[in-house]
Chain A
Amino acid sequence: MQNLTLLDGQKFQITIQRLCRQLIENHDDFSNSVLIGTQPRGIYLAKRVAEELRKILPGKTILQGDLDITFYRDDFRRRESQLVPNQTRIDFIIEDKKVILIDDVLWTGRTIRAAMDGMLYFGRPQKMELLVFVDRRYSRQLPIEADYVGIEVDSIASQKVVVSWKETDGEDKIVLLSEAK
């Protein structure tokens, strides 16, 4: 495996801050908007974005939940190994709210398709947007694009993009892994 670090250190933090500023442009004080991170890896970005927004908008309520998409996937019974569900934690109403769906990596678009499906089981949002940290361009299998993108990456299918977080992995960074030749 060869590793190429795409983003780390201060740039990592600046990218999150930039995404937050872009969100505020469209969502003002977040009184009618909520953040939903997708399990298992999107929730860390969602938490960071929520924390950062609270710093920029002191005193405002930033609602943030976790959505598990396991039950809404389209590859159930088609995968080689079974997925164990994670916790879904959405303790607010999303009906008529602007929902910002958050995931770490946008690749084929299938996770987001499942997340949109899962989201609708909680009500009918006024609007749904997508924020991702890494957009693996030109690899979509569904007509899905993100509204807010941290960085764009051109990669091939055999490569992997891994986002690590200080909280769980000890370090903030985005790495592109390639099979060694």
Chain B
Amino acid sequence: MAELSTRHLLGIKDLNLKDIELIFETADEFKSVLNRPIKKVPSLRDVTIANIFFENSTRTRLSFELAEKRLSADVVNFAASSSSVSKGETLIDTVNNILAMKVDMVVMRHPYAGAGIFLSKHVKAQIVNAGDGAHEHPTQALLDAFSIREKYGDVAGKKVAIVGDILHSRVALSNILCLKQLGAEVMVCGPTTLIPKYIGALGVKVEHDLLKALNWCDVANMLRIQLERQDIKYFPSLREYSMLYGLNKQILDSLDKEITIMHPGPINRGVEITSDVADSKQSIILDQVENGVAIRMAVLYLLAGQTQ
């Protein structure tokens, strides 16, 4: 008889260790549902969910939509590019109009940090943050930690290196918060310009040498360079970045242990990671995608089932 301590999922910051464990236990059962011939349960049949995406997405939107459909929820999709937002409507008005059509939950991605938190204070529906600017991406962090737990049995005590554009990455922040809660050691690695100045305050190690970071870690989470969020040049060229921070087979084979490779997608093959590494058996990138559906089913199920 456990419940999440929060009514919305706005960020990992709002979750305690019990919440994360409850989500994982529920996701375990949904993962087994997803491996049955009929991959569907009727739990959310009287729930309507709106997926509101103010920013592009393939994986996250599809993953949420599949999770919703496999829980038998009714789903409406909304992409800002083809909507009245371009006619000047405000966020609250847009969402309240959608809610007037009897929608119970909103899954939202927005380019501005804190958009989900803002919305949760002004509308009645439950909000799930599917990424807000460079702030948080809680379901991604949950599925990453869930994948590490699946691979190693436990997250506590594992060493995880997050490599790349930490400054602009919501995945990095949510991952750090989630992994630290679960008792993992976390290191961030990247060029000085792409590491936030006070990141050490979150209790993470900082490293600028990729080889040292890889030698230290059990799991390397390779992040994409977020060119769309970079208003100035943070490094001379992608080629130089790739030479210093790109993970290739040669580096991987030079390590004296076998580490696990993760990537939240979309991959820029040949920049942060080469094709042979992304497709190698050390990579659990596609397991992450599979687990994403189970994690999102768990989150939606637990939120929707809360006492009204």
Contacts and interface: CB of A to CB of B under 8 A. Distances in A.
Interface of A: 68, 70-73, 76-77, 79-88, 117, 121-123
Given A84-B1, A122-B37, A77 B22 contact: no
Contacts of B32: 87-88
Contacts of B302: 82
A77 B3 contact: no
A84 B26 CA distance: 7
20 contacts: A68-B29, A71-B41, A71-B42, A71-B43, A76-B43, A76-B44, A77-B304, A77-B305, A81-B307, A82-B1, A82-B2, A82-B306, A83-B305, A84-B2, A84-B25, A85-B29, A87-B29, A87-B32, A117-B42, A122-B38
Contacts, number: 58
Contacts of A79: 307
Interface residues of B, number: 27
Contacts of B22: 84
A117 B307 CA distance: 24
Interface string B3-44: 100000000000000000010011011001100111011111
Interface of A is mostly: loop
Given A72-B41, A72-B42, A76-B43, A82 B36 contact: no
Nearest to A73: B43
A144 B174 CA distance: 49
A86 B305 CA distance: 16
Given A71-B43, A81-B3, A121-B36, 18 more contacts: A70-B29, A71-B33, A72-B41, A72-B43, A77-B304, A80-B307, A82-B1, A82-B305, A82-B306, A84-B26, A85-B29, A86-B29, A88-B29, A88-B32, A121-B38, A121-B40, A121-B41, A123-B37
Contacts of A123: 37
Contacts of A86: 29
User: Which 9 pairs from chain A and chain B are nearest by CB?
Assistant: A71-B41, A85-B29, A81-B1, A121-B38, A82-B305, A71-B43, A82-B3, A76-B43, A84-B2
Contacts of B306: 82
B256 interface: no
Contacts of B47: 77
Contacts of A68: 29
Interface in B40-61: 40-44, 46-47
Interface of B: 1-3, 22, 25-26, 28-29, 32-33, 36-38, 40-44, 46-47, 301-302, 304-308
B236 to A, nearest CB: 52
Contacts of A122: 36-38
A121 B301 CA distance: 19
Which of A70, A84, A86 gathers the greatest number of chain B CB atoms within 10 Å?
A84
A17 to B, nearest CB: 33
Contacts of B25: 84-85
A88 B42 CA distance: 16
A121 B43 CA distance: 13
Contacts of A121: 36, 38, 40-41
A117 B41 CA distance: 10
Contacts of B29: 68, 70-71, 85-88
B146 to A, nearest CB: 16
Given A84-B22, A84-B26, A85-B29, A77 B42 contact: no
A70 B29 CA distance: 10
Contacts of A71: 29, 33, 41-43, 301
A73 B26 CA distance: 16
Which of B37, B42, B301, B304 gathers the greatest number of chain A CB atoms within 10 Å?
B42
A85 B308 CA distance: 19
Contacts of A83: 1, 305
A121 B42 CA distance: 10
B136 to A, nearest CB: 24
A85 B26 contact: yes
Nearest to B104: A77
Contacts of A70: 29
A1 B305 CA distance: 31
A125 to B, nearest CB: 14
A86 B26 CA distance: 8
A68 B42 CA distance: 13
A82 B306 CA distance: 6
